[in-house]
Structure 1
Amino acid sequence: MNAFCIVIVNHIDSSTIVINLKVEALRINQTFIHYVLKTIDTQNHEESENCSMRIATLPPRRLINLIYTRSVPFIMIVVSVQMGILLDLQVLKELVRRPVALGIGFICQYFLMPMIGFAISKLFRYPTLYGFGLFVVGCCPGGTASNQLTVIFNGDLALSALMTFTSTIASFFMMPLWFYTLGNYAYLRQLKIRIPFWDLMQSLATIVGPLILGLIVAYCIPKVKYYVTLMVKPVFILLFFYFFGFGTYVNFYLFTYIDWRMALTAPLLPWLGYFLAGVLAYLFRQDWIRVKTIAIETGMYIDYS
């Protein structure tokens, strides 16, 4: 919707003029105010300058949002400690020594998924902002949600944790690479986006620190691994439904921005990721447990926060 207004100010000295305009936001989005500044001096000499101002609308600040966002980091740290306790160092060493599965995962996460996101946004003609959002999702690592699903579906926990770690490290150079090549060509000429390197650092610290702590606990108190093994799957299932239910309720207002076209096509990104990553892992003769793990790590793109 376009609006037009004229503001006339009679001013003869050189002090600063402050003009307040009230803009009511109806949706979370960003837009620009374009205006022409015209000045006429006492001798009727007129000068004009075209100006613009970016306006961004942020999500609502509510107590329930604060409770949810504050609970997520604490729970994720506890989950990562549990994963560290369950990790087998010998399996980790073997994965690093023969990194075929890691290589498949890297290709799926940072080459397959960005291209799928780009193709969907262009094929179904997403608006620029929403198309870029889907492309960003395809370029970002999946986080600890994929680790939980790996445990729930009896996948390879060591491979899952190592893929999460390596994909987070790789995001420091792979995300800028995609944003300033294909992203710049397809989207960023119309948008101004900054890469959240500090958030990536926090994500890396949240993953690595608790994992190391869990490994230390398992080494110092070997019996704790038995008890964590018994309780980890029920706990992860409960946490998954907690985040899904609570997170949906907190962010329910976002559903009002989704039209039928995006609702039907955006889910193609994770599901194609699951399917194609599983097929690629199978073609490279990975066993069924690793096929499941690579598929989950590729398609599971959820940030609980």
Structure 2
Amino acid sequence: MVSRARTSPGTCASCPSKARRAIQAFRSNTVDAVLGGALEGVADARAIGGVQSFRATPALGAVGLTVNLQRPLLADARVRRALAMAIDRPALVGRLFNMREMLPLVSLVPPTVTGYASPTAPDWAAWSLAQRQTEARRLLIEAGYGEAATAAMSPDDAEANALRIEISFVDGVEARSVIQAVAEAWAPLGVAVRALARSPESQAATLKAGDFDMAFDVRVESVDSPLPFLRVFACGQAQNFGRYCNLGADAMITLAQSLPNIVQRTAELQKAEAAMLKDMPFLPLFVPARWSLLRAEVEGWSPSSAGAVQASSLRWGGKGA
């Protein structure tokens, strides 16, 4: 995020993970522009900016839950699939944000990536919510969870098979509200969610150590390509915190990069994505918005899914930054 201070012409302050400080600076009239916002602070920015100052566009990004496949409960693909299909994404996005720039998401690659044709989607994406919830219950019972599966167990075994999931996240209003909505969606399945708020430093250490069940993740890329959204799940990749590995999908991605034209490359990448979606190493929720706040006298802003709005492209009262 970049805020443009009116007191220091020609300079910009870089403010990663400090969206609300930048918003407050805009509110107090000490900066003329706040650029490159993502999920954090979006509601506040929209509220204070209104139609005159708030600008947004769907991001090259995905908000969702990274799943730690080393956890016994979540190592079962049936459990991950059940949890993914039980969430009503349009309702979640509409109720929490009510912004047309924030899009429900069921794929790993967001629809904002140029030239990726129709986004890949799991087979359940076209089902009604009632159908998905019914299938989710069936999958959990099949995996040995839920009341029907544990009714004949001893109290100790039933307790051991209880569905309890901890979601680790960098503390923030938006993240809390999304996790609460997910918890409400899973409650009818008998899933209890505990939200663990952390500082950015603590979250980074937690992910690196693999000490989590699920992690709330906001991924925004600057490169307009499906590759960053797929390669993050490659076996042994440094940012693959869930320890997911699908050698077949990795081979498809490698092959795609060697193919001579974009149609062939896209088809092979979509095959890789479809293979990954069967495993659900990441539960996609929605595409975030890239937002900015601009004073009326600031000109030169244009929509960018990558959020690559440069202060140097803006003009103050007809003058460049």
TM bucket normalised to smaller: under 0.3
**TM-score, normalising length from structure 2?**
0.24
Whichever of the two has the greater Rg, that structure is 1
| Higher RCO, 1 vs 2 (CA within 8 Å, ≥6 residues apart) | 2
Larger helix percent: 1
When the two structures are superposed, what TM-score results if normalisation uses the length of structure 1? 0.25
